[in-house]
Each structure stands twice: as C-alpha cells, then as structure tokens.
Amino acid sequence: MPIANSHAHYGSLAKIFHWMTALLILTAFPLGIIAQKLPFDTNAELALKATMFSAHKTVGILAFLTALLRILWAISQKRPGLLNSENKLESTAAETAHWLLYGSMLAVPLTGWIHHASTEGFAPIWLPIGQNLPLVPKSEALAAFTASLHFILIIVLGLTILAHIGGALKHFIIDKDQTLQRMLPGRTPSVEVAPDHRSFAPFAIALAIWAGAMGIGTFGGAFTSHDTSVETAELSDVVSDWNVTEGTISIEITQFGGPVTGSFADWTAQISFDEKLTEGPLGNTVVEIAIGSLSLGSVTQQAMGADFFDVAGFPTAQFSAEIFADPNGDEQYLAQGTVTLKGVSVPVTLPFQLAIDQNIATMRGQTSLNRQDFGIGDNMPDETNLGFGVEVVIELTAERS
C-alpha cells in the first residue's frame, strides 16, 4: 500500500494517523468523564481520581501531538476526492465536519493543557515534558477561562465525531459506496473519483459553528465567574511598634510528588522589637492569619474542608513568639513561640534575617511544619498523595511607628 495519498485513495500513513487520533480521543473522553465524577474524600479515592485525571491529561496531550502530525502530513499530501461530490449538501457537510475535527482535535487538548499549566496542584502529566508551558503564567483567572473553553470545545468535538461516524455509516449502509473502506486498514478498494472543486464555504461554516458555540456558552454562563471562595474572617486592627507596609505569608506543600505553592491574602502582625537590646528577648510578635484567604491553586477548595484546615470551624491561625538573637549565628534572629492552628498549639522556631535602614525594616524567615501535628489531612496518613512537610515563608517590610 502506498504511503502517500492519491486523488482516489488515502495512503497508509494517513490511515495510521487517522486511527491513532481516533483511539486517543475516544480514550480521553471517558477518562475525563470518569475522573470528574469520582469522589476524593479518602486517600485511596483521591489517588484513584488523580490517576484518572493524569491518564486523561496524558492521553489528551498525545492526541494533540498525533493530531498535529496528522494535519502537517495532510497539508503535504494530495487530498483524496469525495465520492459524493455531486451532492453539494452532503459534500459541504462532510468538508465542514473535517474542518471542525481538525480544529477541535488541536483546540480541545491545547486548552486543557493551558488550564493545567496555569494552575497548581492535583494530577500531574505523565510525560517527560514538565508541568508548565512557555508564556503561560500561573493564573486562576486564566485557568477558569480555559477550563470553560475546554468544556465548550469538547461538546463541539463530541457532536462532530458523532456526525462523522454517522456519515461514514450512511455511506456504508445506505449509499453502499467505498467511503468508509478507503480509510480502513489493509488493501484499498478500487474507486473512481470525479474531479471536485473545493470551496471556502465549509471553512466559513465551521468558524460560524465555533462562534455560535462560544456565544451559547457565554450566554449560558460558562465564562461567568463562579465564586467558590469561603467566608474570610475579619481581622481586628493591631497597634504595633512596627507597622507592616507590605509582605507575604506563603506555604508550599508536596502533592503527588510535585510542589504546590500558595499564600494568605489577609493577615495582621503586631511587632515589638528593639535592635539595640543585647540580651534577653529583643521583642515579641503576634501574627494572625485569616485561613479563608488562602489561595492554593486547584486544591484551594479541598484545603478549606473539614479534613484539612476546616475553615468553618477554625477561621484563623496565630503565631505568637518572642524574638531573640541567634546564639549560633546561623541566622540573625529567632522567633520562638507557638503556632495555633485548627485548635492545636505547637512549638515553632522561625529563623529569620533582618535588615534595618533607619526606620525601615526588611525581614525574611522560613520554617517547616508537619501537617500531622495539627490534624490536617488525617484521612491521608501517608505521603503517597500529600507530603507531611509544609514550608512556610514570611517576607515583609515594616516601618517603625
């Protein structure tokens, strides 16, 4: 069988690309549906759900790469003529379906890939290509937009595949021509194909269908922001010797072997500190954090649940400590005290570096916590899905009152 296409037949390579793409797409569809519906309340359930999502994403990217190769090959080849070119309505519908298939086979996995790259957490891709994409920032807004776009394009692709299959069966059962057999593996049947004249109309119709799908999705609320945030505790104003002008409290967890970073948007710090003291406590600090203000990529909502931070029952966390000079000289200072989280108080030492320029202080500290100490993620008693360690980084700039 010839590798290249002719006016009457598809070559062997075109057939291979066709059936490989079909197999991958028809595998990705059920994987995604099943993964979406699976629960994730227990360690085993979350592991299964993540596995299904990882399989869905991996198969989707393989489908994208295969479809891209298929399209590039098709561009370089002669396009076999239609066997029903004399039927203008059917031939226009077939050409439109091909445009929709080609476009959707690229757009569906690409939007899913961008969604994965723009957020953090959950199921990794099982390919040695990394989890990020060039020029794609970590953005929850972008992730939400591409997720909606992915869903709409899936519907277009699914309906087009059904129409494509229906057309092939019509040719085989009703018309009894060789349209379906031309794409089957093995010996290519002998057919006579009349010269046909391609037009711009099918491409224009395909564009109109995509635009219509976007319009229906927009009016249907697919791109409307669905606020899934939890109620954030209101923190009281504090009176402090040092007033924080800017800063971040960020955390990093390990999920499925990969890092997931997040930060708290709302927190206050009461700071008393005198750098001129030479012994004893140099000051103290009380930091209060609104747990509901945490942003932790795609696992934010899961983190707010009763098995984890339980924000409904424990809306705030607190770090109270006295400040000492580091006796070992490894770090400049140590904040020694307790972290109270989810009703549990645990002793914690926060080493930090401090630079004071007149009345402006810049500080950076980092410490490690163990989620098990606070009863966080007790439904995940090992590190298969969620690591025990949590890295906490505090960076701030403060002005002396």
Give CA–CA dist 122/115, Å, rounded.
12
Q: What is the CATH number of the domain that holds 305?
A: 2.40.128.110
170 is a domain residue = yes
Span 202-207, average pLDDT: 96
For 178-230, the DSSP string reads STTGGGSSSSPPP---------SHHHHHHHHHHHHHHHHHHHTTTTS----PP
Helix (H) or strand (E) holding 287, with range, is strand 283-290
Same domain, 314 and 394: yes
> What proportion of the chain, given as a percentage, has pLDDT over 70?
96
pLDDT digits (tens, 9 = 90+) for 273-311: 998 888 889 999 999 999 999 999 888 988 999 999 999
Please indicate, yes or no, if residue 2 is contained in any of the structural domains: no
pLDDT tens digits for 360-396? Answer: 999 999 999 999 999 999 988 889 889 999 999 999 9
Where among 187, 219, 251 does a domain terminate?
A: 219
- pLDDT value for 222: 79
Give exposure, 225-254, as e/b (b: 16+ Cβ within 10 Å). Answer: eeeeebebbeeeeeebebebeeeebbbbbb
| Residues 362, 269 within the same domain | yes
Q: Does residue 280 sit in the same domain as residue 171?
A: no
In a shared domain, residues 210 and 280: no
SS3 state of residue 121? coil
The letter for the amino acid at 348 is V
Q: Across the chain, what does the average pLDDT equal?
A: 91
Q: Is 233 among the domain residues?
A: no
Element (H, E) at 143: helix 140-170
The token duo for 86 is 């004399």
Residue 111 has pLDDT above 80, yes or no: yes
Could you tell me if 282 and 159 lie in one domain? Answer: no
* Nearest CA among 320, 323, 328 for reference residue 275: 323
Other C-beta atoms within 10 Å of 93: how many? 16
pLDDT of residue 227: 54
In this structure, the answer to whether residues 213 and 247 fall within a common structural domain is no
3-state secondary structure of 173: helix
Per the structure, the count of domains in the chain is 2
Closest CA to 308 of 289, 287, 292: 292
Per-residue pLDDT tens digits for 119-168: 987 789 999 998 999 999 998 889 999 999 999 999 999 999 999 999 99
Helix (H, G, I), strand (E, B) or coil at 339: strand
Q: What is the pLDDT of residue 225?
A: 63
- DSSP one-letter string for 312-331: TT--EEEEEEEEEE-TTSSS
Q: Is the same domain home to 191 and 328?
A: no
- What pLDDT is attached to residue 130? 87
Asked if the structure places residue 344 within a domain, the reply is yes
Determine the structural domain holding residue 390 and report its residue range: 242-400
More confident residue, 194 or 342: 342
Q: Are residues 199 and 95 in the same domain?
A: yes
Rounded to the nearest 10°, the torsion over CA 59, 65, 70, 72 is: 170
Element (H, E) at 345: strand 344-357
Work out the number of other CB atoms within 10 angstroms of the CB of residue 215.
Answer: 11
On the question of pLDDT at 240 being above 90, the answer is: yes
- Element housing 398 (H / E): strand 389-400
SS3 of residue 308 by DSSP? coil
